[in-house]
Structure 1
Amino acid sequence: MENLEKQLICPVCLEMYSKPVVILPCQHNLCRKCANDIFQSANPLWQTRGSSGITASGGRFRCPSCRHEVVLDRHGVYGLQRNLLVENIIDIYRQQESSRLVNIKPEQRQQQLMCEEHEEEKINIYCLSCQTPTCSMCKVFGQHKDCDVAPLNTVFMRQKTELTDGIAILVASNDHIQAVISQMEEISHTIEENGRRQREHLANQFDVLVGILEERKQTLVGLITKQQDEKLKHVRSLIRQHSDHLEAAVTLVELAIQSMEEPHMSAFIQSAKDILEKMAVTSRTSNLERPELGYESMNNFVIDTDNLTDMLRNIDFSTGMISELDRYYLSTIYIRLYSLDQIFYLVVALHFFLN
């Protein structure tokens, strides 16, 4: 009978099931009142049965025995099926227990503890001052004569009721905490997903900018290289012209020096005449073209990127507007790179402008 009684104890109130007994989808049983208390604690906004207004939607709570989530319809715990088998077993058990108690001798019905100070006295009162059970003799003649006392059964029932209520509250609180933990786990998963998506979006935006900048850099480097090659070609052509002129003048000088050694006047006059004519021609062509002042400068290719550099350094996130708040989930912040968008359009405009 004791083992049977253990199977008929409600895990919430720790008393024998009270009618009606409801059976959960996980096959565990609860008193309907205990099930309703847990359900109301887990769903404080759910309208009670019979309340006025719009019909409430379903809710959920967790089985106190196995933590299985129980999903209810709009009827709440009143939509759960009654366990008539358990109710019938409880009726039979109580009938047999009543018959057994009738046949028990009076001295066997209750075995009370005896007082240590007065061995013949039963412990039947509770000292409220010392918070300990004691006997009537201790109150009259013993160490508790100046203390406040109360009947033992009264204190027993009061503390048992308090403990039962505490268990029910704690179970309901645990269910609520479990629901909060589940919500926060879902929020953590959403945060991870949003973070991954935003990182990918950010990387794509930077890749686009880097691609545009790389393309523009190659174009501008090509312009610099083209002008450099043109200027080098022109200067090297002038170097060759001046080198040829210098070589001709050196040769003419050598001829003039050789003619100075001619002993015969007629031969000297004839050779000197030819040399002087060549000198005159060389003098007229000595004023060759030279690069103008500052021809070597490439300052026309300087680009002012100070503003663009500042914008790149100051790229940051801005808080977006939240479109909707979910009552079961924390809101997430949508971010966008407004500075990056501005730089993107600036680079595109610069690309077309320089082309």
Structure 2
Amino acid sequence: MNFALGFKPPPAGSPGPGAGRGATMENLEKQLICPVCLELFSKPVVILPCQHNLCRKCANDIFQSSNPLWQSRGSSSITASGGRFRCPSCRHEVVLDRHGVYGLQRNLLVENIIDLYRQQESSGLVSIKPGQQQQQHLTCEDHEEEKINIYCLSCQTPTCSMCKVFGKHKDCEVAPLSTVYTSQKTELSDGIATLVATNDHIQAVISQMEDTCCTIEENGQQVREHLADSFDGLVAILEERKQELVGLITKEQDDKLKYVRSLIHRHSDDLEAAVTLVESAIQSMEEPHMPLFIQSAQVILEKMAASAQVSHMERPELGFESMNHFTIDTDDLAVMLMNIDFCSADDDEDDAEKGEEDSEPDPKF
């Protein structure tokens, strides 16, 4: 990086009486930031059941991403019965009625506060943020008197106008720093919204696979009970065979559970990594320095791009949890066991004669 932070602290006693009010307004602004677009809430502001707020447009974007088949409002086709998505702030599941996002209650109090804040801002009563003051003093290392005001697209680094005219970036392609800042901030905001929707989808798949585990366990228990009932009427000679069959069921159940749980563990790791990436992106959005923000945003965007490429989630195939092939019919076996009887003497003699005939040597030619 070819820039340095040249901010000097103000001398003692310089803050005026409005300094405390500026800090209060800054804290107020933080409370009025939408967790999705990371901008001031835009009207109308909707309040979720978990008491968190979202811009209606942001809420609708998340809802549409989580419910792609939901019919939009005013569609001529049959209206869907509703949908659901997760709050980006607390992950609470929000269940909507057939009106979708338009059925959420507006937070008029927050809207009024935003109006008052913007009136204060337009009248000049909102003080300049400390981050903005520091940003004005970012200077070039090679040209200490020059501010960082352009971005070198070839070298992908912020620089100053002197570096472009006379310095090492004179043959490079450059763009205004504010343009690159706005572009990457928009791209990062869109990436956060997409990643949040992807996380909701992963969480839904994990929940489905957890239900699959419960179904596998229930079906396995039912098959074992049926097998035990089938063997209750049999003699002890079938006990060993019964244990073998129980072992087969248990082995397949364990194999299936092991496979599904391995998928859950893998996707849970992916989800945790994605959530961590969202937190890093949100922290990056709070960076007040455009050059520092651009550099951190580039790394996060690359990670987001790599995460987005993994679009296919491996899951058990349809009917994987079924154990219906473990069925047994003991009717014929019970009849055979009931017909077991002693061998007669004639049968013994016939067996002996047959054994002698089998032991006679073959004639020689």
TM-score by length of 2: 0.61
Contact 2:154 2:172 in 1 (8 A): yes
Among 123, 128, 133, the residue aligned to 2:153: 128
* Aligned residues: CA RMSD: 3.5
2:293 is matched with none
**Higher relative contact order at CA 8 Å, sep ≥6: structure 1 or structure 2?**
2
2:185 is matched with 160
Contact 2:152 2:174 in 1 (8 A): yes
Q: Residue 352 of structure 1: CA displacement?
A: 5.9
Where does structure 1 lack aligned partners over 5 or more consecutive residues? Answer: 215-309, 318-328
Q: Could you say if the C-alpha distance between residues 155 and 346 of structure 1 is closer, same or farther in structure 2, counting changes exceeding 3 Å?
A: same
1:46 is matched with 70
2:290 is matched with none
Q: Could you say if the C-alpha distance between residues 205 and 159 of structure 1 is closer, same or farther in structure 2, counting changes exceeding 3 Å?
A: same
What residue identity is the alignment partner of 1:79?
G
Question: For the residues of structure 2 that align with 1:19 and 1:337, how far apart are their CA atoms?
Answer: 59
1:192 is matched with 217
2:26 is matched with 2
Question: For the residues of structure 2 that align with 1:204 and 1:314, how far apart are their CA atoms?
Answer: 13
Q: Could you say if the C-alpha distance between residues 109 and 99 of structure 1 is closer, same or farther in structure 2, counting changes exceeding 3 Å?
A: farther
Among 56, 74, 80, the residue aligned to 2:80: 56
Q: Could you say if the C-alpha distance between residues 84 and 330 of structure 1 is closer, same or farther in structure 2, counting changes exceeding 3 Å?
A: farther
1:36 paired with 2:63, answer no
Among 332, 335, 350, the residue aligned to 1:348: 335
Contact 2:140 2:147 in 1 (8 A): yes
Among 129, 137, 143, the residue aligned to 2:162: 137
Contact 2:45 2:106 in 1 (8 A): yes
What residue identity is the alignment partner of 1:167?
I
User: 1:36-185 residue pairs with structure 2 within 5 A?
Assistant: 36-100=60-124, 111-185=136-210
Cα offsets for 1:211-240 (capped at 9, x unmatched): 8989xxxxxxxxxxxxxxxxxxxxxxxxxx
Q: Could you say if the C-alpha distance between residues 103 and 185 of structure 1 is closer, same or farther in structure 2, counting changes exceeding 3 Å?
A: closer
Q: Which moved more, 1:112-121 or 1:168-177?
A: 112-121
Contact 1:213 1:347 in 2 (8 A): no
Among 318, 322, 330, the residue aligned to 1:333: 322
Cα offsets for 1:123-172 (capped at 9, x unmatched): 11100111111111110100100111001111011001001001111111
Q: Could you say if the C-alpha distance between residues 100 and 348 of structure 1 is closer, same or farther in structure 2, counting changes exceeding 3 Å?
A: same
Percent identity between matched residues is: 75
Q: Could you say if the C-alpha distance between residues 103 and 190 of structure 1 is closer, same or farther in structure 2, counting changes exceeding 3 Å?
A: closer
What residue identity is the alignment partner of 1:344?
D
TM-score by length of 1: 0.62
Count of aligned positions: 248
Q: Residue 120 of structure 1: CA displacement?
A: 2.0
Q: Could you say if the C-alpha distance between residues 210 and 97 of structure 1 is closer, same or farther in structure 2, counting changes exceeding 3 Å?
A: farther
Q: Could you say if the C-alpha distance between residues 123 and 163 of structure 1 is closer, same or farther in structure 2, counting changes exceeding 3 Å?
A: same
1:201 paired with 2:188, answer no
Q: Residue 210 of structure 1: CA displacement?
A: 3.5
| Larger Cα-atom Rg | 1
Q: Residue 176 of structure 1: CA displacement?
A: 1.4
Q: Residue 209 of structure 1: CA displacement?
A: 3.1
Cα offsets for 1:274-302 (capped at 9, x unmatched): xxxxxxxxxxxxxxxxxxxxxxxxxxxxx
Q: Could you say if the C-alpha distance between residues 314 and 119 of structure 1 is closer, same or farther in structure 2, counting changes exceeding 3 Å?
A: closer
User: 1:262-277 residue pairs with structure 2 within 5 A?
Assistant: none
Three-state SS of the structure 2 residue aligned to 1:162 is: helix
Question: For the residues of structure 1 that align with 2:167 and 2:201, how far apart are their CA atoms?
Answer: 49
